[in-house]
Chains A and B, each alone.
Chain A
Amino acid sequence: MKFKKSILPLLITAFALASCGGNNSQKEGNQDSDENSNGILGAGATFPYPFYSKVFDIYNKEKGIKVNYQSIGSGGGIKQLQNKTVDFGASDAPMSDEELSKSPAPIVHIPTCLGAVIITCNLPGDPVLKFTPEVLANIFLGKVKKWNDPNIASLNPNVKLPDLAISIIHRSDGSGTTYIFSDYLSKVSAEWNAKPGKGKSLNWPAGLGAKGNEGVSGLIKQTPGSIGYVELVYALQNKMPAAQLKNKAGNFVAATLQSSSAAANIDLPADMRVSLTNTAAADGYPICSFTYLLLYKDQKYNNRTEASAKATVDLVNYVIHDGQKYAELLGYAPLPDAAVKKAEAILKSVTYGDKTLQ
Chain B
Amino acid sequence: MIPAITFKNNGINFKEKAFKKTLTLSAIVAVIILIAIFFTLLVNSFPSLKALGAGFFYDKTWDPVADEYGALPFLVGTLLTSFLALLISTPFSIAVSIFLGEYYKKGIVAETFKNVIDLLAGIPSVIYGFWGLFVLVPIVRIIEIKLNVPPYGVGIFTSSIILAIMILPFSVSLSRQVISMVPDHLKEAAYSLGATRFEVITKIIIPYTKSGLFAGLLLALGRALGETMAVTMLIGNTHSIPTGIFSPGNTMASVIANEFSEATGKIYTSALIEMGLFLFVVATVINIIGKQIIKRFTL
Complex Cα–Cα for A12 and B286 (A): 14
What residues on B are CB-neighbors of A247 within 8 Å? none
Chain A residues whose CB sits within 8 angstroms of the CB of B273 once the complex forms: 20
Query: What is the chain A residue whose CB lies nearest that of B63?
Result: A203
Q: How far is the CB of B42 from chain A (nearest CB, A)?
A: 12
Looking at the complex, which one of B150, B219, B232, B295 makes contact with A172 (CB distance below 8 Å)? B232
A207/B41 in contact, CB under 8 A: no
On whether the beta carbons of B228 and A16 are closer than 8 Å, the reply is yes
A189 to B1, CA, bound (A): 96
Asked whether A94 is an interface residue with its Cβ less than 8 Å from the other chain, the reply is no
0/1 interface trace, chain A 194-227, chain B, CB 8 Å (1 if under): 0011111111100111110001001100110000
Chain B residues with CB below 8 A from A2, complex form: 294-295, 298
What B residues does A10 contact at CB under 8 A?
Answer: 34, 283-284, 287
Q: A329 contacts the other chain (Cβ, under 8 Å)?
A: no
A21 within 8 A of B: yes
Please name the 8 residue pairs, one residue from A and one from B, whose CB atoms are nearest each other, closest first.
A174-B262, A209-B237, A172-B237, A203-B63, A197-B65, A199-B65, A6-B291, A208-B236
Q: Are B238 and A197 in contact (CB under 8 A)?
A: no
Q: Does A165 contact B (CB under 8 A)?
A: yes
Is A173 positioned at the interface, with any CB of B under 8 Å from its CB? yes
Q: A76 to chain B: which residues have CB within 8 Å?
A: 261
Q: CB of A115 within 8 A of chain B? A: no
Q: Which of A13-60 contact B (CB under 8 A)?
A: 13-14, 16-18, 20-21, 23
A99 within 8 A of B: yes
Q: For the complex, give the distance between the alpha carbons of A202 and B239 in Å.
A: 9
**How many whole Å from B27's CB to the nearest CB in chain A?**
9
Q: Are A173 and B248 in contact (CB under 8 A)?
A: no
Shortest C-beta distance, B148 to chain A (Å), equals 13
* Bound: A259/B264 CA distance, A: 31
In B275-299, which residues have CB < 8 Å from any A CB? 276, 279-280, 283-284, 287, 290-291, 294-295, 298
Q: Given the interface contacts A9-B223, A20-B276, does A202 sit within 8 Å of B64 by beta carbon?
A: yes
Highest count of chain A CB atoms <10 Å: which of B33, B133, B238: B238
Q: In the complex, A223→B62 CA distance in Å?
A: 26
Q: Which residue of B lies closest to A186 (CB)?
A: B65
* Residue of A17, A173, A202, A218 touching B37 (CB-CB under 8 A): A17
- 12 new A-B contacts at CB < 8 Å, known A21-B40, A79-B264: A7-B30, A9-B219, A12-B223, A73-B262, A75-B261, A172-B258, A173-B259, A197-B66, A199-B64, A203-B64, A208-B154, A210-B233
Residues of B contacting A215 in the complex (Cβ-Cβ under 8 angstroms): 233
Instruction: Tell me the bound Cα distance from A275 to B225 in angstroms.
Output: 41
A72 at interface, CB cutoff 8 A: yes
Q: Is the CB of B153 within 8 A of A222?
A: yes
Kindly provide the distance from the CB of A2 to the nearest chain B CB, expressed in whole angstroms: 7
Number of interface residues of A (CB under 8 A): 50
A75–B272 Cα distance when bound, in Å, is: 15
Say yes or no: B226 contacts A16, CB within 8 Å. Answer: yes
Is A17's CB under 8 angstroms from B41's CB?
yes
CA–CA, A16 and B138, complex, Å: 30
Q: Whole-angstrom distance from the CB of B91 to the nearest CB of chain A?
A: 23
* Inter-chain contacts of A210 with B (CB < 8 A): 233, 237
Question: Contact at A201–B258, with CB atoms within 8 Å?
Answer: yes
The chain A residue sitting closest to B237, CB to CB, is A209
Complex: how many Å from CA A221 to CA B150?
Answer: 17
Nearest neighbor of B269 in chain A, beta-carbon distance: A75
Q: Which of A165-202 contact B (CB under 8 A)?
A: 165, 167, 172-176, 196-202
Interface string of B245-279 (1 = CB under 8 A from A): 00010100110111111111000000011001001
How many whole Å from A7's CB to the nearest CB in chain B? 7
Contacts of B137 in A (CB 8 A): 222
Pairwise interchain contact B65-A198, C-beta atoms closer than 8 A: yes
Interface status of B152 (Cβ within 8 A of chain A): yes
Q: Mark B125-149, 1 if CB is under 8 A from A, else 0.
A: 0000000010001100000000000
- Asked if A173 contacts B223 (CB within 8 A), the reply is no
Cα A144 to Cα B219 with chains together (Å):
46
B61 near A: Cβ within 8 Å? yes
A98 closest partner in B (C-beta): B265
Q: Which residues of A contact B133 (CB under 8 A)?
A: 218-219, 222
**Bound-complex Cα distance A20 to B294 (A):** 31
